Amino acid sequence: MLDNDARVAIHYSHRVTALILMLAYLILISKLWFTAAAPLASSVGVILLTQISLGIMNVVYVLPLYIAIAHNLVAALLLIITLTINYLAWKR
């Protein structure tokens, strides 16, 4: 078990990184929205909103296991869709 200072540092760095990534995803969504990849933009938006909601639920409900697992699964979905967009961008 980690001491309180270590846990606070982990949570703080996770939240700061999440805010930076959210900004990057919002920029990506805005760039994709006016292209032929608009369906991908809306998919990223829905997955991002789901991830944010699960993160908030983790804090509010004090980290229940099923929500934490869902948060990790949706993070994997974000990674997969990011890789898909990257593949399609480089394929052109």
Q: 77: burial class by Cβ within 10 Å (0-12, 13-18, 19+)?
A: middle
Determine contact, residues 54/69, Cβ cutoff 8 Å: no
Per-residue pLDDT of the chain in tens (92 residues, 90 and over written 9): 899 999 999 999 999 999 999 999 999 999 999 999 899 999 999 999 999 999 999 999 999 999 999 999 999 999 999 999 999 999 97
pLDDT of residue 12: 96
- Residue 87, both tokens: 């593949």
Name the residue among 4, 2, 19 with its Cα closest to residue 55.
Answer: 19
